[in-house]
Structure 1
Amino acid sequence: MECLDRPPAPPPSLPPSLRAPLGFIAVLAALVVVTLGVLYAGHGRSGSVDRWFIQPTDDSVRPPWRGLALATDFLAEPAGAAMLLVLAVTGCLLLRWPRAAVLVVAGVVVTVGATTLVKPLVGRTIHGDGNLSYPSGHTAFLTALALMVALLAAGRLGLGRAAGVLLVLGAALVTGAAMGWAQVSLGAHYPTDVLGGWCTALAVVPATAWLVDLAADALRRKRR
């Protein structure tokens, strides 16, 4: 006799109510990444957009702010990023939500991979020592992780479109601004590098979540 008490389907990584608005935002973000990449391809200096922001000097970021900037920067360094990734995946598994764990890993891999791929294509450098700077991988990583956690929280809590978009974009803005400030303050990136990294996460994460949902749903149907 076939069991009628099948476990309920897990909530999607990308809530249906957020697909349209986040899809639109992802397209706009991708256009920003491409536009800035074309504008600053091969450059080794700040541009006109960068000059809209405060340009720190060697002694403009002093303790305790420099310590805060270094601590924020550490969160996207290999050790810090691995720690955050393990915490996020462990949390998903403790909640018995393997799809969410897959999204976290896939989202980080695709986001970091995208910034790694774009950097040599654009060829923008900073400090004249060959360090490729566009887009900011640190900003992209932390923004992507915050985006995914907010997406999963919105789905788990059953938030509507307005509340869900507000939560997701708010999380992205706060984390992106924090890491962006740290990168610019420490002289590791131009402001437009930070903007490019932030937009990379906004473009990649919704698409990755959608693909994870498609794959998970197809696998679930196959097992029936």
Structure 2
Amino acid sequence: MRDRLKTSPPALPVVLRTPSMVLAVLGFLTLIALGLRFAGHSVPSAFDAPLLPGPDLIGDPWWYFATAIDFCGEPLGATLILALVLGGCLLTNRLRTAVLTVVGCGLTVVVTSVLKPLTGRTIHGSYLSFPSGHTAFATALAVIGAYVLAGRSGRSAAVAWTVGLAVVSGFLMAWAEVGLGAHYPTDTIGGFAVALAIVPVTGYWVDRLADGKGRVRTSGEKPA
């Protein structure tokens, strides 16, 4: 298995390491700033208010479209998507991408789940809302997909793929979550930031460990 991991394409393409780490820092700072700003709040901010749907939420046929998108972030929908992604990774010998998918998406969901009670922001009275786990999951998958597509591209094209897919996927899930009344817009920005902060760092460590550079060597063991 270790040999297969070593020969597998990198989880985080070399061309994207520096840009991705910059995005990770920006995501982390954005998350901290928003978390501190909205901790304990239960009303929309001045930024949120104009973007929220009316009391009837979004109407047909958009409601069905939003519900379908939302399902992709629910436990069953997310599990089905992950199974498809992992199957594709195994068929194409992208074992590092498979590990990044499981660990990166898992950490993203865990972090959003932990931050919700810590920030204590609520919507509709008692529902914890910051940050949006659905948006974080969708963005994390998009970033991982961009790493696969951008692996053989130049830096400019690779960065464009990563930012473009992350923004489009994050926006679609954010639109669905806000439209269905599940989150404030700033909750979805927080979820977007979580994914940007976690996935690149996870991908970097997946590659280091797969290359044998992240473990402690025993006495007398030669470097890889």
TM-score (norm 2): 0.90
Structure 2: how far apart are the matches of 1:106 and 1:42?
Answer: 30
RMSD: 2.1
Note the C-alpha offset of 1:120.
Answer: 1.1
Structure 2: how far apart are the matches of 1:19 and 1:101?
Answer: 18
Q: Does 1:112 align with 2:104?
A: no
Q: Is the 8 A contact 2:135 2:170 kept in 1?
A: yes
Note the C-alpha offset of 1:49.
Answer: 2.2
Note the C-alpha offset of 1:90.
Answer: 0.3
Q: Is the 8 A contact 2:100 2:206 kept in 1?
A: yes
Q: Does 1:186 align with 2:180?
A: yes
Counterpart of 1:26 in structure 2 is: 24
Structure 2 residue aligned with 1:13, among 5, 11, 25?
11
Counterpart of 1:218 in structure 2 is: 212
* CA displacement 1:84-127 (0-9 Å, x = unmatched): 00000000000022111111101111110110111111010100
Q: Structure 2 matches for 1:37-52, cutoff 5 A?
A: 37-51=35-49
**1:47–1:216 CA distance, 2 compared to 1 (3 A):** same
Counterpart of 2:155 in structure 1 is: 161
**1:105–1:146 CA distance, 2 compared to 1 (3 A):** same
Counterpart of 1:127 in structure 2 is: 124
Counterpart of 2:218 in structure 1 is: none
Structure 2: how far apart are the matches of 1:203 and 1:7?
Answer: 24
**1:154–1:77 CA distance, 2 compared to 1 (3 A):** same
- Structure 2 unaligned segments of length 5 or more: list them: 216-220
Q: Does 1:142 align with 2:138?
A: yes
SS in 2 for 1:218: coil
Structure 1: how far apart are the matches of 2:52 and 2:170?
Answer: 18
Structure 2: how far apart are the matches of 1:7 and 1:210?
Answer: 14
Q: Is the 8 A contact 2:8 2:93 kept in 1?
A: no
**1:58–1:102 CA distance, 2 compared to 1 (3 A):** same
Q: Which amino acid aligns with 1:111?
A: T
Note the C-alpha offset of 1:21.
Answer: 1.1
Counterpart of 1:3 in structure 2 is: none
SS in 2 for 1:59: coil
Structure 2: how far apart are the matches of 1:7 and 1:25?
Answer: 26
- Structure 1 unaligned segments of length 5 or more: list them: 1-5
Note the C-alpha offset of 1:64.
Answer: 0.4
Counterpart of 1:35 in structure 2 is: 33
Counterpart of 2:189 in structure 1 is: 195
Structure 1 residue runs of 4 or more that deviate by more than 6 Å after TM superposition: 219-222
